[in-house]
A and B are shown apart, each in its own frame.
Chain A
């Protein structure tokens, strides 16, 4: 699959069909990949596909000028579709090289499970529904569902629905939707006040690095309300009240665009369970409007459309 990708990407650049290729190359740390964004056809030999290609590369589409060939997992392709729906990118300017994705390994889960950091793990190998981890020469097997990212566990389209080239046959993804929304279930079971206290405490840790926003393909505004000073909606200081409002509004602003790719939670340096917000919003949108983001590039975006009769009973 990797060779097919490299050859395809090289051809795209050589034939002038795209100006840029966006994909993954090996990172500088163990079990890490890093985005490769290049115009140079010699670079594409570094492209890789492995169980650690966690980034949602579609975030780079809105900042590159020209035509782009992009490597996309199922969730990434949904983000691309959503960007097309919002007219942020034009379909004809993108060549999607689709990867049927069997799920991405969450290194934080590996670390918690083993009680040691990733750089002290020798090897992690994916073998179907098992993951074999080697530590100090000793191999241990774990069920894949214990080690995939939460959002992978409820993935609705492991294989891209929108693509120009599909690099492999569809491969099965083992999901566990109950595990995927376990944190949400716990929250829903709490009394109302306790839920608010939970989020207060979480957002007390926020340092306002804006990684969650900057990495989100759905957060494509050129100017964000948090940076507005006239009027000053929230202060740009890491205080829980301002942090919390920032995140609530961000979630509302991306409702109908968020595809539950999980990137915001993955990148949070202070481990705020952001997906417990985005995933719930994703569900609310589905419950109220039977709408799933990034599934149909011809569909009007959620917030610029309406039905005559919907969402009854919530307004007096």
Chain B
């Protein structure tokens, strides 16, 4: 067991390259500090995120997953984020029903200019994950 004091949540972020990824970049360059707990995977669009990615990340032991894309109406490919939205909310509701804390899978709309919002989202999600503790979903036994 990891010591409570040493444990830090690990968060995996799937960020759309056209907006949220740029937003995170902006947060970095403008020295807005966001937690180092987040590991970022750049995706071409939030619509690229298959719910499978989310489950796989949780299976691999990430404590939480964040999907972030362009605000509705702003998708580089016109409709990608609208489709992502249907998939995301269904997954979120369904996982919650199965017994997964809804805070483990979150989504946000962050534009390229919203470095501040990205910092806020990453900070809040990390804080929430710290509260709920390490992901034990796929650990054997109990």
- Does A touch B (CB under 8 Å) in the complex? yes
In chain B, what residue has the closest Cβ to A193?
B99
User: Please, what's the 1-or-0 string for A188-216, where 1 marks a CB less than 8 Å from any CB in chain B?
Assistant: 10101111111110000000000000000
Q: Choose, from A10-18, A119-127, A299-307, the stretch at the interface.
A: A299-307
By a CB distance below 8 angstroms, the chain B residues around A194 are: 99
- Of B59, B90, B92, B101, most buried by chain A (CB within 10 Å of CB) is B90
Q: Does B113 contact A (CB under 8 A)?
A: no
Q: Does B72 contact A (CB under 8 A)?
A: yes
Q: Does A29 contact B (CB under 8 A)?
A: no
In chain A, what residue has the closest Cβ to B69?
A315
Q: Are A245 and B55 in contact (CB under 8 A)?
A: yes
Q: Does A241 contact B (CB under 8 A)?
A: yes
Q: Are A196 and B83 in contact (CB under 8 A)?
A: no
Q: Choose, from B1-9, B31-39, B102-110, the stretch at the interface.
A: B102-110
Q: Does A1 contact B (CB under 8 A)?
A: no
User: Please, what's the 1-or-0 string for B78-113, where 1 marks a CB less than 8 Å from any CB in chain A?
Assistant: 010011011111111111111111000011110000
**Other-chain contact of A315, B52, B83, B109, B124 (Cβ < 8 Å):** B109
Judged by DSSP, the binding face of A is helix
By a CB distance below 8 angstroms, the chain A residues around B109 are: 315-316
- Of A196, A248, A314, A315, most buried by chain B (CB within 10 Å of CB) is A315
Q: Does B40 contact A (CB under 8 A)?
A: no
Q: Are A195 and B108 in contact (CB under 8 A)?
A: no
**Other-chain contact of A314, B72, B88, B121, B138 (Cβ < 8 Å):** B88
Bound CA span A314–B109, Å = 11
Bound CA span A306–B124, Å = 29
Bound CA span A188–B96, Å = 10
**Other-chain contact of A188, B85, B97, B138, B142 (Cβ < 8 Å):** B97
Q: Does B28 contact A (CB under 8 A)?
A: no
Bound CA span A289–B79, Å = 17
Q: Are A314 and B89 in contact (CB under 8 A)?
A: yes
- Of A196, A308, A309, most buried by chain B (CB within 10 Å of CB) is A196
Bound CA span A304–B84, Å = 10
Q: Does A165 contact B (CB under 8 A)?
A: no
Q: Are B100 and A284 in contact (CB under 8 A)?
A: no
By a CB distance below 8 angstroms, the chain A residues around B138 are: 241
Q: Are B89 and A196 in contact (CB under 8 A)?
A: no
Chain B interfacial residues counted at CB < 8 A: 36
Q: Are A314 and B107 in contact (CB under 8 A)?
A: yes
Q: Does A167 contact B (CB under 8 A)?
A: no
Chain A interfacial residues counted at CB < 8 A: 39
By a CB distance below 8 angstroms, the chain A residues around B98 are: 195-196, 199, 248, 277
Q: Are A316 and B108 in contact (CB under 8 A)?
A: yes
Bound CA span A195–B95, Å = 10
Q: Are A303 and B95 in contact (CB under 8 A)?
A: no
Distance in angstroms from B73 CB to nearest chain A CB is: 7
Q: Are A303 and B85 in contact (CB under 8 A)?
A: no
Distance in angstroms from B19 CB to nearest chain A CB is: 13
Q: Does B137 contact A (CB under 8 A)?
A: yes
Bound CA span A248–B138, Å = 13
Q: Does A225 contact B (CB under 8 A)?
A: yes
Bound CA span A233–B52, Å = 8
By a CB distance below 8 angstroms, the chain A residues around B121 are: 316
User: Please, what's the 1-or-0 string for B27-60, where 1 marks a CB less than 8 Å from any CB in chain A?
Assistant: 0000000000000000000000001100110010
Q: A-side interface residues toward B, CB under 8 Å?
A: 187-188, 190, 192-200, 225, 233, 241, 245, 248-249, 251-252, 255, 277, 280-281, 284-285, 288-289, 302-304, 306, 308-311, 314-316
* Listed A/B pairs (14) with beta-carbon separation below 8 Å: A193-B99, A194-B99, A195-B99, A249-B51, A281-B90, A284-B90, A288-B93, A289-B86, A303-B86, A306-B82, A306-B83, A314-B89, A315-B88, A316-B106
In the complex, given contacts A241-B59, A316-B121, what are 4 additional A-B residue pairs having Cβ atoms less than 8 angstroms apart?
A245-B55, A245-B59, A310-B85, A315-B88
**A-B pairs, 6 with minimum CB distance:** A196-B99, A195-B99, A306-B82, A316-B108, A311-B89, A315-B107
